[in-house]
């Protein structure tokens, strides 16, 4: 079915574009035997004659990608599946993760924890690539040791895992091919869409507790306060550099930030609820998790309605580290490093 589909697309394109370019001196019609079949289509799409003339649709391709057509010639394959395999990479990312939010408004790499995962990259051409990743990291924050007096008085802390699946598109500033010494280094940028899971926890009296379960800002108790979902979307974007090290291997450094759509990565967002209501409805533990300074016999410690976090901004998390990939598939002599 795939061969029939590509044959159909090519035949239609050929008969549409042939009249338009027939008058060009570099245009040479292709006989039916040369472009019949899917493999013939791809073979002729990027070919020139021995005299340097372009055949048929390859003339149009040359004009559309003029200046970068040499890279197309280097990834020429007789079979489409071999082309796709040779253009793909599989590897790992090893580095760290951190977050920005109520406990860390703006410092990059503050309290970074180890992180890592799997990377799959498919190179569309020497400039563009699709990337898919599965990453795991941890983030944390604490008011202990803060220079901010408000944070010191608040006395909260949290830790959370981050499990992320992401799809991104990369743009290389320089032409890039792992096995080509002339084009084996480039800085790049990327953006995409991610889905992630998080679970903020803290420790109270030596026991690890899930903060969402207790509704520390009145979720489930205060009217209009709903529990926040632990599965969310984020918008990843960032920068990196990569270098081809051999015929198959590349290594690079990448820093990617994630803008989320939640303010509860750290379980802190808005105002203190009524601690007496929390105590009545959910018990002493919930009241203490919401406000560690709360004392039932001292109304001055309730802080009801006082600011607990900043609900105007959303939380962020980031991954940074070393990316190592191996090119998949059989080596193609057109890819070999000189």
Tell me how far apart the alpha carbons of residues 123 and 88 are, in angstroms, rounded to a whole number: 6
pLDDT band at 29 (very low <50, low <70, confident <90, very high): very low
Is the pTM value of this prediction over 0.75? no
Query: What is the CATH class of 87-271+307-327?
Result: mainly beta
User: Taking the domains of the chain in order of start, what are their residue ranges?
Assistant: 2-64, 87-271+307-327
Sequence-separated contacts (24+) of 36-44 with Cβ below 8 Å: 36/7, 37/3, 37/7, 38/2, 38/3, 38/6, 38/7, 38/80, 39/3, 39/78, 39/79, 39/80, 41/6, 41/7, 41/10, 42/6, 42/76, 42/77, 42/78, 42/80, 42/83, 43/76, 43/78
Residue 179 and residue 248 in contact, taking contact as beta carbons nearer than 8 Å: yes
51 has a pLDDT exceeding 90: no
What's the confidence (pLDDT) of residue 147?
86
Residues 286-311, mean pLDDT to the nearest whole number? 86
Whether residue 44 has pLDDT greater than 70:
no
Cβ count within 10 A of residue 213:
15
What angle, rounded to 10 degrees, do the helices at 38-45 and 57-64 form? 50
Looking at residue 86, its pLDDT comes to: 59
pLDDT at 193: 98
Question: pLDDT per residue over 63-117, tens digit each?
Answer: 444 544 444 444 444 443 443 445 899 999 999 999 999 999 999 999 999 999 9
> Given this model, what pLDDT does residue 120 score?
97
Mean pLDDT, the chain, integer: 80
What are residue 252's phi and psi, to 5 degrees?
-155, 175
Mark out the alpha helices in 136-267 (DSSP H runs): 149-154, 211-214
User: What pLDDT, on a 0 to 100 scale, did the predictor assign at position 41?
Assistant: 43
Residue 287: C-alpha distances to residues 102, 215, 264 (Å): 20, 10, 18
Helix (H) or strand (E) holding 252: strand 249-260
The pLDDT assigned to 180 comes to: 86
């Amino acid at each position: 079915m795939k061969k029939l589909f590509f044959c159909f697309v090519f035949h239609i394109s050929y008969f549409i574009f042939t009249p338009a370019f027939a008058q060009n001196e570099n245009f040479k019609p292709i006989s039916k035997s040369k472009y019949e079949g899917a493999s013939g289509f791809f073979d002729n799409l990027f070919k020139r004659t021995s005299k340097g003339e372009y055949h048929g649709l390859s003339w149009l391709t040359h004009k559309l990608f003029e200046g970068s057509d040499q890279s197309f010639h280097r990834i020429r394959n007789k079979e489409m599946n071999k082309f796709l395999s040779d253009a793909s990479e599989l590897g790992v990312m090893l580095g760290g993760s951190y977050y920005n939010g109520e406990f860390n408004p703006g410092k990059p790499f503050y309290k970074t924890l180890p992180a890592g995962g799997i990377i799959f990259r498919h190179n569309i051409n020497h400039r563009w690539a699709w990337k898919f990743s599965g990453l795991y990291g941890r983030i944390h924050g604490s008011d202990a040791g803060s220079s901010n007096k408000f944070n010191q008085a608040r006395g909260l802390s949290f830790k959370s895992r981050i499990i992320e699946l992401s799809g991104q598109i990369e743009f290389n500033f320089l032409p890039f091919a792992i096995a080509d010494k002339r084009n084996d280094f480039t800085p790049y940028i990327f953006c995409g869409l991610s889905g992630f899971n998080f679970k903020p926890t803290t420790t109270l009296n030596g026991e690890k507790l899930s903060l969402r379960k207790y509704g520390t800002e009145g979720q489930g108790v205060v009217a209009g306060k709903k529990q926040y979902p632990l599965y969310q979307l984020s918008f990843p974007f960032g920068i990196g550099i990569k270098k081809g090290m051999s015929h198959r291997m590349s290594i690079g450094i990448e820093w990617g930030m994630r803008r989320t759509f939640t303010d509860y990565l750290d379980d802190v967002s808005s105002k203190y609820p009524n601690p007496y209501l929390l105590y009545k409805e959910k018990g002493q533990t919930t009241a203490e998790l919401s406000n560690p300074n709360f004392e039932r016999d001292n109304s001055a410690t309730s802080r009801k309605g006082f600011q607990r976090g900043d609900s105007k901004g959303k939380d962020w998390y980031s991954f940074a580290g070393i990316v190592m990939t191996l090119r998949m598939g059989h080596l193609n002599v057109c890819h070999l490093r000189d």
